[in-house]
Amino acid sequence: MDLNLINDIDQLNEALWKWLGDDYNEKVHTAISDTPLNIFLSQSESINMPTDLCTFNEKFLVSVPRTVKHDATLSLNSTLYETGQEFCGRKLNVKYDPELIPQGLNEVFLYDGDKCVGLAKRVNFSDNAKMKRKGRASSRTKSEVSTQISTDSSIPKTIEERSPISFFDLENI
């Protein structure tokens, strides 16, 4: 092959396929005493073709370890994803297709070992800000909370109102 005649990748690919088809796959190789094409065709019935395209595609996903934070979120490529509460604190493998990142990856797969245990979805900050959460005083305003604190006699209002404590008192507790 004259490399001076190849000007771009397309010409190189064309030359490679021509060589594979006309030369390499059609000539008898001394190590196998046959042509590579004949060897391949004689064993073609033992090739298992994938039947489930989704399972097949999963094998080629990128896998990165991540620990799910206490608020059931994880970060991947500067994007926040939310999971179920059952994954808090667990170290899982996050699998995703890196080619989908520029388009906005909305979901990633969560794996514990080889088993898919769930999905993590991209956090929608607009919707997240409007969510009602357990344990939050949503109806009370700041002034109502500060009024309650100022009228509660059990809370000291100044430093002078706090009972003094000495090192002697600490030793005798």
pLDDT tens digits, 77-93: 889 999 999 999 999 99
Q: What is the pLDDT of residue 159?
A: 41
Q: Which residue has the higher pLDDT, 160 or 114?
A: 114
- Beta strands of 2-114 (E only): which ranges? 62-67, 73-76, 79-82, 91-96, 107-112
Nearest to 58 by CA among 123, 112, 122, 108: 108
Q: Is residue 22 part of a domain?
A: no
Q: What is the pTM of this model?
A: 0.52
Q: Is residue 36 part of a domain?
A: no
Neighbours of 126 (CB within 10 A): 7
Question: Could you list the residue range(s) of the whole structural domain that residue 107 is in?
Answer: 53-127
pLDDT at residue 167 is higher than 60: no
Do residues 64 and 91 lie in contact, with contact meaning Cβ atoms separated by under 8 Å? no
pLDDT at residue 153 is higher than 60: no
Q: Is residue 75 part of a domain?
A: yes
Q: Is residue 28 part of a domain?
A: no
Total tally of structural domains belonging to the chain: 1
Q: Is residue 138 part of a domain?
A: no
pLDDT digits (tens, 9 = 90+) for 13-61: 999 999 999 899 999 999 999 999 999 999 989 988 888 887 788 888 9
At 120, which helix (H) or strand (E)?
Answer: strand 115-122
Tokens 């949503």 belong to residue: 138
Q: What are phi and psi of 45, to 5 degrees?
A: -70, -20
Q: Is residue 39 part of a domain?
A: no
Q: Which residue has the higher pLDDT, 95 or 100?
A: 95
Q: Is residue 38 part of a domain?
A: no
Tokens 């305003």 belong to residue: 141
CA dist., res. 112 & res. 159, Å (int): 53
Q: Is residue 119 part of a domain?
A: yes
